[in-house]
Amino acid sequence: SAMLYLVPTPIGNLSDISERCREVLAQADFIAAEDTRVTLRLLNHLELKKPLVSYYEHNKAASGPRIVERILAGETCALVSDAGSPAISDPGEDLVRLCAEAGVTVSAIPGPCAAITALSMSGLPTGRFTFEGFLSTTKKNRAQHLDSLRAEQRTMIFYEAPHKLCATLRDLAAAFGGERRISLCRELTKLHEEVLRLTLDGAVAYYETQPPRGEYVLIVEGAPKQQESGPVSEEEALMRVQALLA
Ligand code: SAM
């Protein structure tokens, strides 16, 4: 029956499109795309021809309900974003909610996601992590966001555009201290893929001479665990026991 498929697309290397993504794109009645030109290039690569509708940040309020209507009328839609997994830091999130509210079945195909690709090669702890997406560009929201992360012990994942990288590194160093470790993962799956494992101060210094280029995911180490208190004096131990017995 009619439904919405979330179809992940390559974040650089076109060979990362999966067999299943091909099949779903080939079988869909239409494709909703963030930038139809970007998606046309992918469809040409796959030798597929499909009706495209645009669904992106600035038309999603009007486009979303039209897509849901078509699905309710019996058509199956494949949603793709410019790169990576739809709904992860892109407007797909809203279409999924609309579909859920309308009782439309949503199925996500697993595939490329810059955040997870970067985390797995960061060398930082992966057992517990938080995805923070893009930091706000408005000063107040950005400060609030960073403030809320000061005591965060889990590894943090950020997305950032190259022209904002230097400012963001400075803000991260100010919030977390310059000694905190960061893995800068750039141009993932592309020719110039690179991971720089530095401290926040080191990263600030590095990009003072080297203009940032390409796409970046920033993986930032969490705050150190609360230190176990060291050995206490006999006097202090006695006081603690007395306090417990009181
Ligand atoms: N939905 C996408 C996903 O699943 O990864 C993310 C969309 S978000 C609008 C775009 C951001 O993802 C970029 O600003 C960058 O931080 C990150 N990104 C996407 N492709 C990347 C790549 N090849 N290398 C590094 N970062 C990438």
Query: In the prediction, which pLDDT does 31 show?
Result: 98
Query: In the prediction, which pLDDT does 186 show?
Result: 98
Q: Is 20 in the pocket of ligand 1 (CB under 6 A)?
A: no
The residue length of the chain stands at 246
Query: In the prediction, which pLDDT does 169 show?
Result: 98
Q: How far is the CA of 90 from the centre of ligand 1 (A)?
A: 10
Query: In the prediction, which pLDDT does 230 show?
Result: 67
Q: How far is the CA of 217 from the centre of ligand 1 (A)?
A: 7
Query: In the prediction, which pLDDT does 229 show?
Result: 63
Query: In the prediction, which pLDDT does 244 show?
Result: 81
Query: In the prediction, which pLDDT does 148 show?
Result: 98
Q: Alpha-carbon distance 172 to 99, whole Å?
A: 37
Out of 188, 191, 196, 213, give the residue to mutate to test ligand 1, the one with the largest number of ligand atoms within 8 Å of its CB. 188
Q: Is 165 in the pocket of ligand 1 (CB under 6 A)?
A: no
- Residues with pLDDT less than 50, the chain: none
pLDDT in tens, 111-149: 999 999 999 999 999 999 999 999 999 999 999 999 999
